[in-house]
C-alpha cells in the first residue's frame, strides 16, 4: 500500500479554542475535500500543530485563513510554519522564539 505523505503545520490563534470546535469549522470550510486534506489537530509541547496530507496542504492553509470564528467566538488562525516532520517543525518554531 502507498503511504500518504504528510505535512505538519504550526498554527497560532488569537484566542484559545476547543479542538472539536476547530474540527467542525475545518469540516465546514473544506467541505467534501475533507477526506483528501484529512486534518488531525495535535498538541505538541503546548503548541497547536495540524497534520494533513501533502496534497491537501494548500486547501487547509486557505481554510485556516478564512476561518474567523471558532465555537461562535471571534478568532483568527495563523499558519506560521510547515514541515514534513514534527521534529523539524519544532526546530523551526524554536528559531522563531525571541
Partner 1 sequence: MKYYDIVLGQCEFDDAFAKRLGFERVFRADGKTGLSIGSEKGQLLKAIQRGAVAIAITDFSVDREVMAKASDSETMLCVPIAPLARTKGLEQARLLHRAAELLKYAYKKRIEVSFASLADSRLLMESRMQLIEVAKMLGATEERARSGVSEANMKIIEGCKVHDED
Name the residues that contact partner 1, by CB under 8 A. 12, 14, 58, 61-62, 64-66, 68, 74-76, 78-82, 96, 98
Distance (Å, whole) CA 46 – CA 30: 25
Whichever of 33 and 38 has its CB closer to partner 1, that residue is 33
Whichever of 5 and 28 has its CB closer to partner 1, that residue is 28
> From the CB of 88, what's the least distance to partner 1, in Å?
16
For 77, phi then psi, to 5°, come to -120, 125
Whichever of 55 and 80 has its CB closer to partner 1, that residue is 80
Distance (Å, whole) CA 79 – CA 88: 16
> From the CB of 79, what's the least distance to partner 1, in Å?
5
- Answer whether 11's CB lies under 8 Å from 63's CB: no
> From the CB of 4, what's the least distance to partner 1, in Å?
20
Residues 6+ apart with CB under 8 A from 35: none
Amino acid at each position: 500500500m502507498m503511504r500518504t505523505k504528510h505535512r505538519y503545520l504550526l498554527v497560532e490563534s488569537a484566542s484559545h479554542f476547543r479542538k472539536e470546535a476547530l474540527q467542525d469549522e475545518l469540516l465546514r470550510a473544506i467541505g467534501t475535500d475533507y477526506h483528501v486534506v484529512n486534518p488531525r489537530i495535535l498538541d505538541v509541547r503546548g503548541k497547536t500543530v495540524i497534520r494533513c496530507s501533502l496534497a491537501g496542504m494548500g486547501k487547509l492553509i486557505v481554510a485556516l485563513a478564512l476561518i474567523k470564528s471558532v465555537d461562535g467566538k471571534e478568532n483568527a488562525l495563523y499558519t506560521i510554519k510547515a514541515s514534513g516532520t514534527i521534529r523539524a517543525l519544532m526546530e523551526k518554531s524554536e528559531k522563531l522564539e525571541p
